Chains A and B, each alone.
Chain A
Amino acid sequence: MRRSLLAASALLLLALLVIFWQESRKPKPIALTPVLTGQVEYCLTCHADLPEISRSHPVQTFGCVLCHGGERLALDADLAHSTMRGGKNPSDFSVVEASCGGDNCHSGAAADYRDHIQRAASSIQATYAGAIASLRYTFGAQPDLTARLGIYAIQALQSASGITALAAFDPARETNPAIRAFAQDCLYCHLSAQPLTGDEYSRFTGCAACHSPDLTSPPIPPSPLPLGEERGAGGSRRGAHTLTAAIPYTQCNRCHNRGNYDLRSMTFVPRDDHPTGRLSDYYQPIAQFTRCEWTLDCVDCHTRAEVMGDGSLYSSKKEIQYIQCRTCHGTLTELPKTKTLTDPDDLAFRLAFLNESAGNFESTWHLEVGDTILVTEKGEPLWNIRLLPDGTYELFGKATGEHFTFLPVMGSGCQQKADEQASQDCHKCHAVER
């Protein structure tokens, strides 16, 4: 009995010593009380080395928990991470409203330009309604190309297209095996889909699919700086903890220009070449392209409404994508549409600011009241293109920081007709020789 008591006492002491030893090994908590929440959180105890995600989301103001969720007071990693939203990606559409939403953040009123989540979630890139409608029409599952189904069910914020809602696409309810095969083999390219395996496809889902460029794989030259260094005007840092509006074309190509659908096998066939030179082998061998198609980034021309949607549901990319050559170059009889900035609260200023701020770089593009910028036929400001006093135009590369100048069609030797706005019409005279 006495020996047992002695052994129990020794074990008790040993257990207490182990507990104290473990406690002493824990890092000293680093407390942060973000301005927005006013509640202390200890995430920086382990994550103090993470860079600021963007100038628009400073950790002193936002903290970590507001966006990522998690147990703010926990010092044990498993416990702290147990209630995170979306794992490493709080912008996945399944959790984005809780992570990024709010009237003053990204799900506010359209009039305040704060309806980002609503627009993105109803965009054709998110619903994939165009591809689904096209496929179901091809195989006789619906009588026309009007979208009825999306990746998820959704109501339209507005109905510019006449489509007020989409039901969820459920492959199990499809009778045609080709449609089921499509669902199994081809649904890689919408914003909620996990990407294919491989660096060239690497991206997040939701907002971060575009706004958190993965620069850990070799970029396709020309890139601002070699891999491993801070990207200059391009802004985005190597690694994932980045939010930027300065999105390089390489990120768009994580989905676009990565292969083709094979309608015989109903599979997605990825490109088997991995382009390393944008000019030399990025485009398909037979493809023609103009200088602006290979020197600019996609976001330099395509507008926020085209890419992120305008709140309406569409049946095809063509219904929302409307930028044409004439938008910037005009026609034989008309100069491109312009607007002189008179209101310091103009959307153009906000977009220019966010490109710099969210891009984490010092911009060389400074808009001023009195500047004349281009606008699209729908009135969207092309804030990165302005009219120069000599009648030429200057474009600022949103992701590269480069400056380009170009001429309007009117008054030049170009004879392009107003209705010739397809890329091949430009290629007749302006195709780049490889």
Chain B
Amino acid sequence: MPDLSRRDFLKLARDSLLALSGLLGLGGLIRFLDFQTEPPAPTDFDLGLASDYPLGTHKVIPDVPALLIHDASGFSALSLVCTHLGCTVEEKAEGFSCPCHGSRFDPQGEVTRGPANKPIIKLRVETTEDGHLHLYTT
């Protein structure tokens, strides 16, 4: 190994430090550019095969949240978001009840007790060509 002069050693040390700094700076830049913002809430939910929801289905889909119904008229869905302030309503024997402020809705989603003054929103449900059931919140 050749002798390293003092000048060369200092130069090598300086260049090494600068290179490390550069790498760290580059890492920070990549991290900055790679920042992922929170994704927007989904509006299209693939519920799987429609055949998995036979006639008579009455199922809560908690991720939406919504109530999926399959009756003689086909598929339909009710949002389980209270129209007052957005809490998730609970299904009861007499319809739906909001645990936050006590709003009540009948099984069709119509208001029976305030403070909500708008009916529960009906959501669009469609079956795609591949037989999948999609529920849309917008």
Verify A17–B86 contact, CB threshold 8 A.
no
Number of contacting residues on B, CB 8 A? 30
Which single member of B10, B14, B41 contacts A38 (CB below 8 Å)?
B41
- By a CB distance below 8 angstroms, the chain B residues around A349 are 102, 113
- By a CB distance below 8 angstroms, the chain B residues around A2 are 7, 10-11, 14
- Asked if A218 is at the interface (CB within 8 A of a chain B CB), the reply is no
Nearest-CB residue, chain A, relative to B27: A20
CB distance from B32 to the nearest CB of A (A): 11
- Asked if A261 is at the interface (CB within 8 A of a chain B CB), the reply is no
Which single member of B99, B104, B117 contacts A55 (CB below 8 Å)?
B99
Verify B85–A350 contact, CB threshold 8 A.
no
Verify B17–A9 contact, CB threshold 8 A.
yes
Verify B86–A61 contact, CB threshold 8 A.
yes
Which single member of B85, B99, B104 contacts A357 (CB below 8 Å)?
B99
- Asked if B55 is at the interface (CB within 8 A of a chain A CB), the reply is no
Q: Which of B18-26, B44-52, B124-132 contacts A (4 or more CB under 8 A)?
A: B18-26
- By a CB distance below 8 angstroms, the chain A residues around B86 are 35-36, 61
Verify A104–B85 contact, CB threshold 8 A.
yes
**Given A16-B21, A344-B104 in contact, is the A350-B10 Cβ separation under 8 Å?**
no
Nearest-CB residue, chain A, relative to B116: A104
Verify A6–B115 contact, CB threshold 8 A.
no
- By a CB distance below 8 angstroms, the chain B residues around A113 are 114-115
- By a CB distance below 8 angstroms, the chain A residues around B38 are 31, 33, 40
- Asked if B84 is at the interface (CB within 8 A of a chain A CB), the reply is yes
Verify A354–B21 contact, CB threshold 8 A.
no
Q: How far is the CA of A61 from the CA of B89 in the complex (A)?
A: 12
Q: In the complex, which residues 83-129 of chain B have their Cβ closer than 8 Å to any Cβ of chain A?
A: 84-87, 99-102, 104, 112-115, 117
**Given A2-B7, A112-B115, A357-B102 in contact, is the A20-B21 Cβ separation under 8 Å?**
no
- Asked if B28 is at the interface (CB within 8 A of a chain A CB), the reply is yes
Which single member of A16, A57, A104, A344 contacts B84 (CB below 8 Å)?
A104
Nearest-CB residue, chain B, relative to A108: B115
- Asked if A141 is at the interface (CB within 8 A of a chain B CB), the reply is no
- By a CB distance below 8 angstroms, the chain B residues around A353 are 101-102
Verify B114–A13 contact, CB threshold 8 A.
no
Nearest-CB residue, chain B, relative to A54: B100
CB distance from A11 to the nearest CB of B (A): 9
Give the one of B13, B25, B86 with max A CB within 10 A: B86
Chain A contact residues: over half helix, strand or loop, or mixed? Answer: helix
Verify B87–A16 contact, CB threshold 8 A.
no
- By a CB distance below 8 angstroms, the chain A residues around B102 are 349-350, 353-354, 357
CB distance from A426 to the nearest CB of B (A): 35
Verify B11–A13 contact, CB threshold 8 A.
no
**Given A36-B85, A357-B100 in contact, is the A9-B14 Cβ separation under 8 Å?**
yes
Q: In the complex, which residues 63-83 of chain B have their Cβ closer than 8 Å to any Cβ of chain A?
A: 81
- By a CB distance below 8 angstroms, the chain B residues around A40 are 37-38
**Given A61-B100, A354-B101 in contact, is the A114-B115 Cβ separation under 8 Å?**
yes
Q: How far is the CA of A94 from the CA of B128 in the complex (A)?
A: 54
Which single member of B13, B37, B104, B112 contacts A6 (CB below 8 Å)?
B13
**Given A6-B17, A344-B112, A357-B101 in contact, is the A13-B24 Cβ separation under 8 Å?**
yes
Q: How far is the CA of A57 from the CA of B17 in the complex (A)?
A: 54
CB distance from A355 to the nearest CB of B (A): 10
Contact pattern, A 5-23, Cβ under 8 Å of B = 1, otherwise 0: 1100110110011011000
Nearest-CB residue, chain A, relative to B82: A61
Verify B24–A16 contact, CB threshold 8 A.
yes
- By a CB distance below 8 angstroms, the chain A residues around B114 are 112-113, 345, 350
**Given A6-B14, A344-B113, A350-B115 in contact, is the A13-B21 Cβ separation under 8 Å?**
yes
- Asked if A87 is at the interface (CB within 8 A of a chain B CB), the reply is no
- By a CB distance below 8 angstroms, the chain A residues around B87 are 35, 58, 61
- Asked if A46 is at the interface (CB within 8 A of a chain B CB), the reply is no
**Given A2-B14, A113-B115, A344-B112 in contact, is the A9-B21 Cβ separation under 8 Å?**
yes
Q: B residues near A, CB below 8 A?
A: 7, 10-11, 13-14, 17-18, 20-21, 24-25, 28, 37-38, 41, 81, 84-87, 99-102, 104, 112-115, 117
Taking A6-B13, A114-B115, A354-B101 as known contacts, 9 extra A-B pairs with beta carbons closer than 8 A to each other, sorted by chain A number, are A12-B18, A19-B28, A40-B38, A58-B100, A61-B87, A112-B115, A113-B115, A350-B102, A354-B102
Q: A residues near B, CB below 8 A?
A: 2-3, 5-6, 9-10, 12-13, 16-17, 19-20, 31, 33, 35-36, 38, 40, 55-58, 61-62, 104-105, 112-114, 344-345, 349-350, 353-354, 357
30 examples of A-B residue contacts, CB within 8 angstroms: A2-B10, A2-B14, A5-B14, A6-B10, A6-B14, A6-B17, A9-B13, A9-B14, A9-B17, A13-B20, A13-B21, A13-B24, A16-B21, A16-B25, A17-B24, A20-B24, A20-B28, A35-B86, A36-B85, A40-B38, A104-B85, A112-B115, A112-B117, A113-B114, A113-B115, A344-B112, A345-B112, A345-B113, A345-B114, A350-B115
